[in-house]
Copies of this chain bind each other. A is one copy, B any other.
Amino acid sequence: MAAMNRRIVLAARPHGEPSPAHFRLEEARVPVAKAGEILLRTRWLSLDPYMRGRMSAAKSYAAPVAIGEPMTGGTVSEVVESNNPDFAVGELVSAFGGWQDYAVSDGRGVQRIPPGVPPTTALGILGMPGMTAYTGLLTIGRPKAGETVVVAAAAGPVGSLVGQIAKLKGARAVGIAGGPEKCRYLIDELGFDAAIDHRGDDLPQALAAACPDGIDVYFENVGGAVFEAVLPLLNDFARMPVCGLVSAYNATELPPGPDRAPALMRTILTKRLHLQGFIVWDFADQAEAFLRDVGHWLRDGRVKHREDIVEGLEKAPEALIGLLKGRNFGKLIVHVA
Question: Which A residues contact B (CB, under 8 angstroms)?
Answer: 59-61, 220, 223-224, 227, 236-237, 242-245, 248, 251, 253-266, 268-279, 282
Contact = CB atoms under 8 A, between A and B. Distances in A.
A256 B254 contact: no
Copies in the complex: 2
B269 A245 contact: yes
10 contacts: A223-B265, A224-B262, A242-B268, A242-B269, A256-B259, A258-B259, A264-B264, A270-B277, A272-B277, A273-B277
Contact of A262 (B223, B258, B282): B223
Contacts of A263: 254, 261
Given A243-B269, A254-B257, 6 more contacts: A242-B265, A255-B262, A259-B259, A260-B261, A261-B264, A268-B275
A61 B236 CA distance: 9
A259 B262 contact: no
B259 A254 contact: yes
A200 B44 CA distance: 59
A269 B244 contact: yes
Given A255-B258, A257-B257, A259-B261, A61 B266 contact: no
Contacts of A255: 257-259, 262
Contact of A266 (B248, B256, B257, B259): B248
A258 B254 contact: yes
A100 to B, nearest CB: 27
Given A258-B256, A259-B259, A260-B254, A276 B272 contact: yes
A254 to B, nearest CB: 4
